[in-house]
Amino acid sequence: MQTMQPVIVFGSYMLDEELIPVDEFELRVRSVQSVMAGNGWSGLIAYGDPLENAVLTYTTNYAPRNRPAIALIPPDGDPRMLVSASPRDIKREASLAWMDDVRMIGNLGDSLGAWLDDAGIDIGTVALIGGANMRPPAFDATTEACVSRGLKIANADAAMAALLHRKRPREMVVVRRAAGILTETAESLSAAWKSGATASEAVLAAEKAAFTLQALDARTLFSIDGGRTLRPYERPMQDRPKRLAAYVAVRYQAYWAEAFVTLSPRRSKIQIAAGDALARMIAAAGPGVTGAELQIAAGPPGPYKTHPAIGASLGHGIGLSLSEMPDLSPGNSDAMIENGTYSLTVGLSEGRRNHALTSAMVALGPDGAEVLWRMPRP
């Protein structure tokens, strides 16, 4: 779910080493290097920007706020990171990463060439993450730095997405904390709404609660037409519809948690139907389950239609990206896996004024789903 947010991101970016100690990143880098070895890659270049930075953050802890950064991972040893920073700011930016080798990007082609020489990468194939998100000059400089040395380039997005899909134990500690922050954020939204706040005031109260709880980022959408459409906060509005539908996402220590909520004085038939469908999906969730099987579990929508904000998808993986693999659509054969974390969503509509959006976050163990967040609460 894409939202429009302020240009300046001001959440908590500092690494909490009690939750994720440095040796966790060393283990992550070794797992990435194992994937590299399995694919015959001589090195890996992971590009990240403020919109998408999962692999970059997974291996460095660095989450770009306004400008891109690049992680450079050799076949063995620790990575190097290139950041968009001035000489004045480089020490501050370097403090957000776990390793010591953090440098200014400068001339990208020269910086990449220096790393390839230092790492002794002079033959084979270099894997590239996030190449599709690069601006053309950066992509061209990356390509030239490799090709000029006789190196080939391979797209590694799918291989790394599969690695990140399965959460490590320390990752799950942070994911559960992110879900806890989501719970308190959604409760702040509900409390503000019940106290008489307008829709825009309620989502601002939710964002304030998230940042108070040390969220790195908080994003919201809300409805002023009973849930038919969702919109970002642009200015204060005096609208207070009888039913408030909203989307809330929070990011803590780089891990996302998200929720759809529908608030009203009394649960309507469509809200009950959506909640019941979500409960059946949670009960059916488990390793090996696909979107088609979740759709069967949810059951037919009855007199309602699928909400346009949801479409055909019943959910997706979630973690360092708001939307990880797999897309749990009926037409996608990719399945849920043990130690994966997922956002499950039900959206129903009837006419122009009767709508319900609800969701859950679950983590899969060998025997089924652990509920990390659920709306409505049991």
Q: Same structural domain for residues 233 and 307? A: yes
What pLDDT band is residue 241 in, cutting at 50, 70 and 90? Answer: confident
pLDDT score of 367: 80
pLDDT exceeds 90 at position 265: no
Same structural domain, 207 and 112: no
3-state secondary structure string across the chain: CCCCCCCCCCCCCCCCCCCCCHHHHHHHHHHHHHHHHHHCEEEEEEEECCCCCHHHHHHHCCCCCCCCEEEEECCCCCCEEEECCCCCCHHHHHCCCCCCCEEECCCHHHHHHHHHHHCCCCCCEEEEECHHHCCHHHHHHHHHHHHCCCCEEEECHHHHHHHHHCCCHHHHHHHHHHHHHHHHHHHHHHHHHHCCCCHHHHHHHHHHHHHHCCCCEEEEEECCCCCCCCECCCCCCCCCCCCEEEEEEEEECCEEEEEEEEECCCCCHHHHHHHHHHHHHHHHCCCCCEHHHHHHHHCCCCCCEECCCCCCCCEEECCCCCCEEEECCCCCCCECCCCCEEEEEEEEEECCCEEEEEEEEEEEECCEEEEEEECCCC
Token pair listed for 252? 């803590």
Q: Which domain holds residue 262?
A: 169-374
337 domain residue, yes or no: yes
Average pLDDT for residues 139-155, to the nearest whole number?
Answer: 96
**Final residue in a domain of this structure, among 116, 150, 165:** 165
Is residue 6 in a domain?
Answer: no
149/215 same-domain check: no
Q: Which one of 165, 195, 212 terminates a domain?
A: 165
pTM: 0.91
- Determine how many CB atoms are found less than 10 A away from the CB of residue 287: 16
- Please write the tens of the pLDDT for every residue from 65-74: 888 999 999 9
* pLDDT confidence of residue 201: 94
Domain co-membership, 208 together with 105: no
Give percent above pLDDT 70 in the chain: 95
Closest Cα partner for 267 from 196, 348, 205? 348
Q: What is the pLDDT of residue 61?
A: 92
Is residue 49 included in any domain, yes or no?
yes
Kindly give, in sequence order, each residue whose CB lies less than 8 Å from that of residue 240, ignoring residues fewer than 6 positions away. Answer: 196, 197, 198, 199
CATH at 357: 3.90.230.10
- Are 122 and 175 part of one and the same domain? no
Does one domain contain both 32 and 156? Answer: yes
Q: Say if residue 150 is in the same domain as residue 215.
A: no
2 domain-assigned: no
* pLDDT tens-digit series, residues 27-59: 999 999 999 999 999 999 999 998 899 999 999
The reported pLDDT for the residue numbered 377 is 65
- Give me the pLDDT at residue 378, please: 54
Mean pLDDT of the chain: 91
The arithmetic mean of pLDDT across residues 76-99, rounded, is 89
